[in-house]
Amino acid sequence: MKLAVAVLKMRLNSSFGNRRQIRKFLRREIAADSREMDKIAGLKEILELDPKNSFARYGLAMELAGHGATVEAIAEFDTLLVNDPSYTSGYFMAAQTLAAAGRTQEARERLQAGIGCAARSGNSHAVSEMQAMLDELNR
């Protein structure tokens, strides 16, 4: 919705913005925001029924991270990895979320744990991706 407000201000200050265009734009932005919130609500509903559903927990964490709700996203990644410590992508995406928030040391720790998890499961692709990110954070 922040984007909608910024664009609305821009259009109000411009010569080509008219009320019809603005209403149409706002309807589209509100609908998009609503769909995104529906995803989060739907995932939370699934988790109420099945709190250990790793796929739904991962999806919720990713949606929250995508909305900039870093603290909530990390909490969901933490819960995911406590419930399912072999969910390799959870380590990698948690590390990316932590790194984006400037929490580099925590991201390194998450990557190291994820590399161990991926190595145990024989996922060499995940090992190489996480190692590359770890190397980048260590520079």
pLDDT in tens, 54-108: 999 999 999 999 999 999 999 999 999 999 999 999 999 999 999 999 999 999 9
| Single-letter amino acid code for the residue at 52 | K
Domain count, the chain: 2
Question: Do residue 7 and residue 75 come from a single domain?
Answer: no
pLDDT digits (tens, 9 = 90+) for 18-44: 666 656 666 676 666 666 568 899 999
Residue 50's φ and ψ, nearest 5 degrees, are: -145, 80
The model's pTM: 0.74
Domain that holds residue 128: 53-139
Distance CA 135, CA 42 (A): 37
Question: Do residue 105 and residue 79 come from a single domain?
Answer: yes
Question: Do residue 71 and residue 35 come from a single domain?
Answer: no
DSSP 91-117: HHHHHHHHHHTT-HHHHHHHHHHHHHH
